Chains A and B, each alone.
Chain A
């Protein structure tokens, strides 16, 4: 069985992602109600083997991964790929270099 974060942390993680994507009214959204409902229904029981709970746990983990990765991917996309090709200056700055300010470098006029 895959190692996964405990259910409570997953639940909070999903709610945090929903808040980030939908905004302050997230606790009135469909997803909020559904997720809370599911987590309440599948609370930990005393039984040692509860198939449905593991299934729900894995699915909730997957959903958290989907929301989190989509958000991070979009942020990276906006940062690096959404503006088309960068200028020479910014491309050089990305790797910590600067373009020479004089055409032939230092001492060119002599």
Chain B
């Protein structure tokens, strides 16, 4: 009897001893593995340059090494402007690499690797889902001043897009949101199909940042500047800031991050759709 207890206790004790369950070194190793994305790499190169490959695509070189995507592919950009912008991001890194400040590089990597294996149609459907819950379509009932503010700021953009694409969107203070007609979605689906895969990657990024298809298209169609779009996207927050005060490490931090991301997305769309870079009027003297 006693012996059995002892025997039972033996292995049990062994299992339960803290050393077995959570060996200290393993715990440490876990911690290191877990935070590897947060640990910043040292800048391992001096010069950044770009070069044109045979297919007309542009590559970025760090010293003599060619830049690669996280998926292991060769990094290629469709035109010179994009390659220069990406090279500048790499050149701007001081002693450690801060990937979270390299938005254009990240977008190019996403477009090249396509880590979620999605097609353009799937991306368009995902983007149009945001139209059902578009920021500028959801209004509040109270307080009165916020209702006024939303009406004054959001309605012009909504009218602009309705006239521009000849659609009806409307707004609502109902929790279910406005009823968006099928024709509207079809129009936008048709319009979004005209973008290539790279532009669509950027456009979807802008939509998810601003939480609004209307504002995103406003920026891409150059009706709004990035600053305006971000302000409109954060309208209620800005209203609350006016009442309760601004907190630099939360409000400003988020607002600048949102601006940087939106600007990167918009620039990415414009740079990867050629029309904006190739067409140029010749000056005549």
Contact = CB atoms under 8 A, between A and B. Distances in A.
Interface of A: 1-4, 18, 21-22, 29-31, 34, 41-43, 45, 47, 50-56, 58-59, 61-63, 65-66, 69-70, 72-74, 76-77, 79-81
Interface stretch (B1-9, B87-95, B163-171): B87-95
B53 to A, nearest CB: 17
Contacts of B85: 31, 63
B263 A62 contact: yes
B259 A65 contact: yes
Contacts of B280: 41-42, 52
Interface of B: 48-50, 80-81, 84-85, 87-88, 91-92, 98, 101, 103-104, 222-228, 248-249, 252-253, 256-257, 259-260, 263-264, 266-267, 270-271, 276, 279-281, 283
14 contacts: A22-B88, A52-B281, A58-B270, A65-B226, A65-B263, A69-B256, A69-B259, A70-B103, A72-B252, A73-B257, A74-B101, A76-B249, A79-B249, A81-B253
For the residues of B in contact with A, the DSSP-based class is: helix
Contacts of B91: 21-22, 29, 31
A34 B223 contact: no
B260 A70 contact: yes
Secondary structure dominating the interface of A: helix
B283 A43 contact: yes
A70 B101 contact: yes
Nearest to B92: A21
A66 B263 contact: yes
Contacts of A69: 256-257, 259-260, 263
A67 to B, nearest CB: 8
A47 B282 CA distance: 12
A76 B267 contact: no
B270 A81 contact: no
A105 B104 CA distance: 54
Nearest to B227: A65
